[in-house]
Structure 1
Amino acid sequence: MSTVTTPDGTDIFYVDWGPRDAQPLVFHHGWPLSHEDWDNQLLYFLSKGYRVIAHDRRGHGRSSQPSSGHDMDTFAADVAALTDALGLQGAVHIGHSTGGGEVIRYVAQAKPGRVAKAVIVSAVPPVMIKKDSNPEGSPIEVFDGLRDALAANRAQFYIDVPSGPFYGYNRPGAEPSQGLIDRWWWQGMRGAANAHYECIKAFSETDFTEDLKKIDVPVLVMHGTDDQVVPYPDSAPKSAELLKNSTLKTYEGYPHGMLSVHPDVLNPEILSFIEE
């Protein structure tokens, strides 16, 4: 089992497949999932000749379950520890949802030469929560509700989310995949309840505005208009506007988990952006 140990003693699990001399693609999963959420993309880009790397965030998947460090600064520092240990140069960092926030925080402060491009999909930046500087955001009560549901019955909550809003299976005419629902539950329940609880604050309240402004490398911003988890109007267009070199791709009617529902559309577009 491959792990990197961070300065505070947390073991970060990761997979690293493909030629060591190929361009590395680093995948950052969403909440409360793990690197397995990238199965489709890992296999797709591996078949295209890339080196593919995906880790489990602390408190998620097979990584350690510490009592602290469940905040975006520490998540980004953990990624830095991983990229340093692997000596990655010219990598493309690809993040979904909370992982998109992790990508933005990491890339904004990455060492020179480490990052060539970035891709954020259904991502939480610039900031989700409603406040004076973000009046269009979601009220704190929304995130308090997530915390309450997790604390009351995490197992049932982790069935309800993928069965409904995450993949858009609560929409008329949707055809749910029981496999995707079960995989979501399985990934979530392997992680630590404390990490998942505290991560709700990290993904909802972290403001990435200044991080976005600092980034110079090209960034592909992908988002569906029917995202019920990270609403489109308050996320992707604003992030694209703040970035110096962005490409915004909007997908009409696509849900939050569109990477799993529509990989046949999104994977080739990510590949095209990488190869530009």
Structure 2
Amino acid sequence: MNTQSSRAQAASYITTPDGVQLYYKDWGPKDGPVVTFSHGWPLNSDSWESQMLFLADQGYRVIAHDRRGHGRSSQPWEGNDMDHYADDLAAVINTLDLNDVTLVGFSTGGGEITRYIGRHGTDRVKKAALISAVPPMMLQTEDYPGGLPIEVFDGLRKASLDNRSQLYRDIASGPFFGFNRDGANVSQGLIDSFWVQGMQAGHKNTYDCIAAFSATDFRADLAKFDVPTLIVHGDDDQIVPIDASAHAAAERVQNAELIVYPGAPHGLTDTHKDRLNQDLLDFLAK
């Protein structure tokens, strides 16, 4: 047995070089074109079900893992940072020996695939898609004034320590899906799903992840993109404002295709899933 296959575990688990067990889903025909999905905070691969089911039915092999510390993966005390997240994605891709992969990342997952390209290149990558994604950077700094003030993320950290269960309910019932907007069609099911996924994740892991998704600077990583790239963002994203993210990322990635969904919230993978599914399918077919 070779080294790559020996690292694959039973029951859809992969063990990383530093001993973390990553749960993953591998749907669709095994000989189909490969699409990987990297999820947002504090969610897991279940948040991609709509896209994965749709694309698998279209003949694609779709793979998504639970980030370390999230979902069904193990909860390491250390390594809850973007470099490790990117290396974990590399462990999935290398262990399963995937090639010509289209990397799709949502929110924090968009940072994950961006850092993957920055650290591991595009030898195994065919295309990339950033959905409601955090790059180039969320945090406001002297040389990145368009970001959000540190107080925003300190507030998230405090709310996480005070009562993270309530925090997840508040995010899901408010800005994440745009349910705090007048006339919104509020779905209790989506709120419950977000909360359940959040509470499956480790407390320390999700706490550390706030710094990972907010303070990581992806500008140098974006400069290394040399594959066709799709950027999708809602212009009413209250979590990752579009000006500091999608618009800025599109300027840094050569020949990136930017699609803006008017009125769409951060969680458009659910609220606008039919349009996103079709946009992904069209992008994959090009």
Q: Shorter-chain TM-score: which interval?
A: over 0.9
Q: Does 1:76 align with 2:94?
A: no
Q: Look up the equivalent residue of 1:54 and give its one-letter code.
A: A
The aligned residue for residue 253 of structure 2 is 243
The aligned residue for residue 44 of structure 1 is 54
- Alignment map for 1:249-260 (pairs within 5 Å): 249-260=259-270
Q: Look up the equivalent residue of 2:106 and give its one-letter code.
A: H
Q: Determine if contact 1:217/1:245 at 8 Å carries over to the other structure.
A: no
Q: Look up the equivalent residue of 1:64 and give its one-letter code.
A: S
The aligned residue for residue 193 of structure 2 is 183
The aligned residue for residue 171 of structure 1 is 181
SS at match of 1:187: helix
Q: Deviations over 1:221-259 (max 9, x none)?
A: 110110000001111011011012310111111000011
The aligned residue for residue 159 of structure 2 is 149
SS at match of 2:120: coil
The aligned residue for residue 220 of structure 2 is 210
Between the aligned partners of 1:238 and 1:261, the Cα distance in structure 2 is 24
The aligned residue for residue 172 of structure 2 is 162
TM-score normalised according to structure 2 size:
0.95
The aligned residue for residue 221 of structure 1 is 231
The partner residue of 1:100 within 106, 110, 115 is: 110
Q: Look up the equivalent residue of 2:52 and give its one-letter code.
A: L
Q: Does 1:134 align with 2:151?
A: no
The size of the alignment, in residue pairs, is 276
The aligned residue for residue 135 of structure 2 is 125
Between the aligned partners of 2:241 and 2:32, the Cα distance in structure 1 is 36
Q: Determine if contact 1:240/1:247 at 8 Å carries over to the other structure.
A: yes
Of all paired residues, the percent bearing the same amino acid is 52
Q: Determine if contact 1:94/1:103 at 8 Å carries over to the other structure.
A: yes
Q: Determine if contact 1:226/1:252 at 8 Å carries over to the other structure.
A: yes
SS at match of 2:36: strand
Cα offset, 1:109, TM superposition: 3.1
Q: Does 1:30 align with 2:50?
A: no
Q: Deviations over 1:248-276 (max 9, x none)?
A: 11111100001100111111011101110
Cα offset, 1:112, TM superposition: 4.9
Q: Deviations over 1:152-201 (max 9, x none)?
A: 00111111100000000000000111110000000000010000000000
Q: Determine if contact 2:121/2:224 at 8 Å carries over to the other structure.
A: no
Q: Determine if contact 2:122/2:227 at 8 Å carries over to the other structure.
A: no
Q: Does 1:55 align with 2:65?
A: yes
Q: Look up the equivalent residue of 1:8 and give its one-letter code.
A: D
Cα offset, 1:18, TM superposition: 1.6
Q: Determine if contact 1:166/1:255 at 8 Å carries over to the other structure.
A: yes
Q: Look up the equivalent residue of 2:80 and give its one-letter code.
A: H
Between the aligned partners of 2:94 and 2:276, the Cα distance in structure 1 is 29
Between the aligned partners of 2:124 and 2:275, the Cα distance in structure 1 is 28
The partner residue of 2:17 within 7, 12, 26 is: 7
The aligned residue for residue 276 of structure 2 is 266
Between the aligned partners of 2:53 and 2:122, the Cα distance in structure 1 is 29
Q: Look up the equivalent residue of 1:189 and give its one-letter code.
A: M
Q: Look up the equivalent residue of 1:219 and give its one-letter code.
A: T
Q: Determine if contact 2:229/2:257 at 8 Å carries over to the other structure.
A: yes
Cα offset, 1:99, TM superposition: 0.3
Cα offset, 1:111, TM superposition: 5.1
Between the aligned partners of 2:137 and 2:27, the Cα distance in structure 1 is 33
The aligned residue for residue 206 of structure 2 is 196
Cα offset, 1:64, TM superposition: 0.4
